[in-house]
Structure 1
Amino acid sequence: MTPIRSSIQLSDGRDLFYYDEEPDSGRASYPDTRHLPPPPPASQLRYDPLVDEWIAIAAHRNTRTFLPPSDACPLCPTNAHFASEIPAPSYDVAVFENQFPSFSDRIVPDEITSLTDLVPVKPGLGRCEVVCFTSDHNSSFGALPPSRVRTVIDALADRTTEISAMPGVAQVFPFENRGVEIGVTLHHPHGQIYAYPTVPPRTAAMLRAAARHASQTGGGILYADVLAAEQTAKVRVIASNEHWTAYVPAAARWPFEVHLAPHRQVLDLPGLSDAERDAFGPLYLDVLKRFDGLFGKPMPYISAWHQAVVGEGRELGYLHLQLFSIRRAADKLKFLAGSESAMGAFVNDVVPENAAQMLRERA
């Protein structure tokens, strides 16, 4: 069942959307009773000519909420003792504009247009939203039922459609950070959506590789060919169903990294069929269970949806989820040290085939 969307504006003018699994919830009837200051203006983008990349400077984010106690969690439903970001007393899935956004459409005039002849400056136009998967503070994505995963996917698809149509958006990126080891600042189960004003570096590199492959093969889709090769090799495949395959990339950067990809080229979440949306949840929940089973404790991870860009090169995209962890052993983390942080050259401590075998054994 497609979730029922309703919306309100928070007291500072930010949007909040409820995605309800049952009709007539009445959640949009609860007003935000707080008195909040206006949202911050857009961040500043500065161009780095040495690597042809744009860097966001968002100083207001340095004061964002950091690991509050559970009775002051801004993602829990509002109650008689604490008014949170979500005014309703309960919710299924809720999405709202980030109070501390990296990118925003709230542009204010800026007299600075460059810092040097080689470093132009422009507003960080875009959008940042927070996606709350459940009102249960002590839950996790892996504990959700498949029906709730479907609601989350539908909500992300809806937000992708709407945000992609906003002026200046180059790519819509939904993701989840889980675990203090990753750097989360709120324990409540949630993800985020970043709408970038420029194509981010990893996507730019993937587009260059995909364009080169298409040219060399007469129009072949690179990710489709990579997926087909992994399905044939089988050695790195973790699990699959009728519509999705989960596998460890042959050149995985991270100790434990899995891609979940649909069996046909889909550009973004809105392009998934009902059957594909239904089939995603059981497979993903299975993979998350395997992650947590590796070392007998919750696995810190980043879960990142790679979607097609909005503009040039969109036809080369292939929707897939990249799930990875920085944990390389029960008591060891992989830190991005000299080679990774300074040079962007990854050195993986775990052989991908061994990682795949370890994950398969956790069934």
Structure 2
Amino acid sequence: MKRTVTQLADGRELIYFDQRDDADRSAIDRRPLEPRPVASELRYDPLTEEWIAMAGHRQTRTFLPAGTSAECPLCPSSDARSTEIPAYDYDVVVFENRFPSFSTNFGTYHDVGGLSDVRPGVGRCEVVCFTSDHSSSFSKLSDAQVRLVMEAWADRTAELSATEGVEQVFCFENRGEEIGITLAHPHGQIYAYPYVTPRTKLQLGAAARYQGPGNLFADVLAAERAAGTRVIADNEAWTAFVPAAARWPFEVHVYPHRQVPDLAALTEEERAAFAPLYTAVLQAFDGLFGGVMPYISAWHQAPVRRDRELAYLHLELFSIRRAPNKLKYLAGSESAMGAFVNDVMPEEAARMLRSRIDQE
């Protein structure tokens, strides 16, 4: 793998990850860009003990340009048009988001009154382009390309974890207009948070209180493998299963068989084994209803500075589609109270997904 670091016209960092060592990455960004926005403002909610980012500059971010590559800012540049990627072709690219929720470009922050503390939204937000092919998707990537994406994830996890002020690194992909994407090109994002996220706090709190024989996450994996009912795919290093208490109509968790805190800790063999299993699961998602399945794919990684011995790297994949022409909307119970009601039994979801994998 070749790793090349360069800068865009407004000073943002861009990193190429290439299969070939002879890849030429000398192209420069020719665009006259506006100055970078200042970092968001974090405000503390004393009722939930959570930090909320106020990022008004994100209102102006690019929103669903024409469906073809002609207007896509994530496609390679050409003689006629400059994009976020100066090169005329690429394998995998990571760059700082032009409209970040967190950054180190600080502005002025004032006391807002009440009981809410205010501080700068220190951190970093990055975009990960999985392929230069606008019409592709993660499910269509070759095993070698998935490996390269994993190398990029691991690289960024390690580097961002070493950044001052960063407490957690989150790699994820949003797919489908129903999910709320603003760009259709196959890509994901990485958030380097200045705090440990609420979901991670909740899970690690449960792991700390757990009185079972081993690590809570490891015991969940072992129990699902032993039951087998909800396992949809596995190999020598990974298992994919529908959790018994799934919140979403179609939800799959993918665990490595070895407890590691984050992507950077995976071995070469584990990274290689992930690719064919994960793309098979994604293809099963698309095969359920004969079309593109909207989903969120989220890597759960250990916080940078706390509870790393409790954490267990795993991926959570879920869709809001519950039937061919029906979506699960988060209405009163879910949105207001955080109390989920699932419309699809996990065992039935596992059976449906397993049948699609068996047909491949």
Q: Which interval holds the TM-score relative to the shorter structure?
A: over 0.9
TM-score (norm 1): 0.96
Match of residue 304 from structure 1: 298
Within 5 Å, which residues of 2 pair with 1:116-131?
116=114, 118-131=115-128
Match of residue 84 from structure 2: 85
Pairwise CA distance, 1:114:
4.5
Cα deviation digits, residues 63-106 of structure 1 (max 9, x gap): 10001123111100001221100000000000000000001111
Q: Could you tell me which runs of 5 or more consecutive residues in structure 2 were left unpaired when the two chains were aligned.
A: none
Match of residue 11 from structure 2: 13
Partner Cα separation in structure 1 for residue 300 and residue 112 of structure 2: 31
Please say if 1:242 is aligned against 2:236: yes
Which of the numbers 194, 199, 220 marks the counterpart of 2:196? 199
Match of residue 351 from structure 1: 345
Match of residue 253 from structure 1: 247
* Contact 1:72-1:82 within 8 A present in 2 as well: no
Pairwise CA distance, 1:107:
1.5
Secondary structure, counterpart of 2:63 in structure 1: coil
Secondary structure, counterpart of 1:285 in structure 2: helix
Code of the aligned partner of 2:308: R
Pairwise CA distance, 1:152:
0.1
Code of the aligned partner of 1:266: V
Match of residue 293 from structure 1: 287
Pairwise CA distance, 1:297:
0.5
Please say if 1:320 is aligned against 2:320: no
Pairwise CA distance, 1:38:
1.5
Partner Cα separation in structure 2 for residue 275 and residue 342 of structure 1: 43
Partner Cα separation in structure 2 for residue 322 and residue 115 of structure 1: 38
Code of the aligned partner of 2:349: A
Partner Cα separation in structure 2 for residue 72 and residue 345 of structure 1: 40
Secondary structure, counterpart of 2:351 in structure 1: helix
Partner Cα separation in structure 1 for residue 108 and residue 212 of structure 2: 47
* Contact 1:10-1:32 within 8 A present in 2 as well: yes
- The alignment's C-alpha RMSD in Å is 0.9
Cα deviation digits, residues 257-297 of structure 1 (max 9, x gap): 00010001011000000000000000001101110010000
Code of the aligned partner of 1:204: K
Please say if 1:24 is aligned against 2:22: yes
Q: Runs of at least 4 residues of structure 1 off by over 6 A? A: none
Cα deviation digits, residues 220-268 of structure 1 (max 9, x gap): 3110000000000000000100000000000000000000100010110
Please say if 1:96 is aligned against 2:90: no
Partner Cα separation in structure 2 for residue 114 and residue 199 of structure 1: 23
Within 5 Å, which residues of 2 pair with 1:1-363?
3-27=1-25, 29-69=26-66, 70=68, 71-110=70-109, 112-116=110-114, 118-213=115-210, 216-217=211-212, 220-363=214-357
Partner Cα separation in structure 2 for residue 346 and residue 316 of structure 1: 26
Matched residue count: 355
Partner Cα separation in structure 1 for residue 230 and residue 212 of structure 2: 25
Cα deviation digits, residues 173-217 of structure 1 (max 9, x gap): 00000000100000100000001111111111001101111xx24
Partner Cα separation in structure 2 for residue 45 and residue 188 of structure 1: 30
Pairwise CA distance, 1:312:
1.6
Q: Could you tell me which runs of 5 or more consecutive residues in structure 1 were left unpaired when the two chains were aligned.
A: none
* Contact 1:113-1:122 within 8 A present in 2 as well: no
* Worse-matched range after superposition: 174-183 or 100-109: 100-109
Pairwise CA distance, 1:109:
3.5
* Contact 1:115-1:121 within 8 A present in 2 as well: no
Report sequence identity in percent.
65
Code of the aligned partner of 2:89: S
Partner Cα separation in structure 2 for residue 4 and residue 23 of structure 1: 5
TM-score (norm 2): 0.97
Code of the aligned partner of 1:19: F
Partner Cα separation in structure 1 for residue 340 and residue 111 of structure 2: 35
Cα deviation digits, residues 102-161 of structure 1 (max 9, x gap): 011112232x14422x21111111100000000000110001001100000000000000
* Contact 1:46-1:54 within 8 A present in 2 as well: yes
Partner Cα separation in structure 2 for residue 321 and residue 217 of structure 1: 23
Partner Cα separation in structure 2 for residue 228 and residue 245 of structure 1: 10
Code of the aligned partner of 1:17: I
